[in-house]
Amino acid sequence: MDKVLLFGRTNVGKSTLFNKLVGENRAIVEHEPGVTRDINFKDMEWAGKRFTLLDSGGMEFEEEDYFSKTIIEINNEMIQQSKLVLLVVDYKMGLTAHDKELAVYLRKKHDNVIVVVNKNDNMDDTWEFHELGFDRYISVSAIHGRNTGDLLDLINENIDYDPSKDDQEETKRIIIVGKPNVGKSSLFNRLAEKERAMVTPIAGTTRDFVEEEIELEGKKYVFVDTAGLRRKRSIYEKVEKHSVYRTVKAIERADLAILMLSAEEPVSTQDTKIAGLIKEAGKSVIILINKWDIISDNKDDILKNKVQEIREKLHFISFAPVLFISALTGQRVKKISNMIEQVFDIYYREIPDRILNDNFLPVIKMKLPEVKFIKQVKKGPPHFLIFASKKLHFSKKRFIENVFRENIEFEGTPIRFIFREPE
């Protein structure tokens, strides 16, 4: 599908326009320049045509900090990949020197540009913006939704679409979660083989989701890099609160969660809470211990102790496989793809009634004769219906899960049980 890029200086309303066009709050909107640090994107359909809408970080040539330089590099790549660029300007502020600078910059890099004059609530004349030197202009009010349908029509006129090239199979979604600064974005960029998420030693530099379709060993997945989930008392900004809420919702939408921990730090209360969110959402899970390259002495003992600590503190996801990696150096990162595929095979496995009742029911009935029949009723994660002739105590239900886990490979996958028993 063609890509359409929202481009412009900071605080002209790109993220508000993005949210209005896609119909959901995917990009964080706050009246603070530079809030959008990462690329947000959404596959869309309008009037029979499909395309991918991209929301970019605001361009600031004058700033010398790491964030601004990285945004310029990322935006350069997005411009090259896009079929159409929408240069968003602010009607209320008027034409600025920075707008002119961006127009000169853009004319050198792309020949399919539409100027979108945002915040024009009354659809007034926009003659001053024609000084930017482009052929096509349209006024919108993103916050009120005015003229956004006309903008979508104009987008359709300037992109190509071949429905025969659509991939009908829904790509599995993998979300990377963890505390700030454990290396989520470093892993994301290592897997994507490009810098899409900002990587700095500063905790919390990823505020928006970053999504990328990545091919690993011939299989495509959508990876989602998230803002680090902080302790509640440190979430004081409105932006941070919204970002945490969206991360929780994103876990619910994912098929698999990669929980990243740091080899440098003990498992914290916050790590435990994040693991609990994954467990509660019923997602398959892999635990990655990052920054393994930093550990130089007594690696065998540290590895053994770390796994033991994880199994004790995160006992409720004890089924999760653990892999020690270095996202920075790439050490053991290639093992992730095989682990992902194995976990997905288990997550979506279907076990025939015959195997359940001929092989595993007798083991259960040795201790629980009241259990009469087992049937798998759902996958992703596996759900099993247990028929019993009398009510089962919690400890007996836990025994049933233990029998399943001891006799069937469920690594990385939660199991759900539905009990049919007398009242």
Is 145 labeled as ligand-binding?
Answer: no
Annotated binding-site residue? 11: yes
Q: Is 301 a known ligand-binding residue?
A: no
* Tokens at 37, concatenated: 């640090």
Q: Is 189 annotated as a binding residue?
A: no
- The helix/strand/coil state of 86 is strand
* 9 labelled binding-site residue: yes
* Cis, peptide link before residue 381, omega less than 30° from 0: yes
Q: Determine if residue 34 is labeled as part of a ligand binding site.
A: no
Please tell me whether 337 is known to bind a ligand: no
Instruction: Provide the H-helix boundaries in 359-423.
Output: 361-365, 394-407
Residue 100 labeled ligand binder: no
179 is in an annotated binding site: yes
**According to the annotation, is 40 in a ligand binding site?**
no
Q: Would you say 187 is a known binding-site residue?
A: no
Q: Is 184 annotated as a binding residue?
A: yes
Instruction: Answer whether 28's CB lies under 8 Å from 36's CB.
Output: yes
* 182 known ligand binder: yes
Whether residue 260 is annotated as binding a ligand: the answer is no
120 appears as a binding residue in the annotation: yes
Size of the chain in residues: 423
Q: Does residue 55 have a known ligand-binding role?
A: yes
| Residue 38 marked in a binding site | no
- The verdict on whether residue 46 carries a ligand-binding annotation is no
Asked if residue 407 belongs to a known ligand binding site, the reply is no
180 marked as part of a ligand binding site = yes
Task: Find out whether 59 is annotated in a ligand binding site.
Answer: yes
Residue carrying the six token digits 């500063």: 202
- Is 227 marked as binding a ligand? yes
Residue 391 assigned as binding residue = no
Q: Annotated binding residue at 12?
A: yes
Cβ pair 87, 7 in contact under 8 A: yes
Sign of the CA dihedral running 273, 275, 278, 281: negative
Residue 111 counted as an annotated binding residue:
no
User: Tokens 């770390």 label which residue?
Assistant: 306
Q: Is 318 among the annotated ligand-binding positions?
A: no
DSSP collapsed to 3 states, 160-225:
CCCHHHCCCCCCEEEEEECCCCCCHHHHHHHHHCCCCCCCCCCCCCCCCCEEEEEEECCEEEEEEE
What residues are designated binding site?
8-15, 55-59, 118-121, 178-185, 225-229, 290-293
What residues are designated binding site for GTP?
8-15, 55-59, 118-121, 178-185, 225-229, 290-293
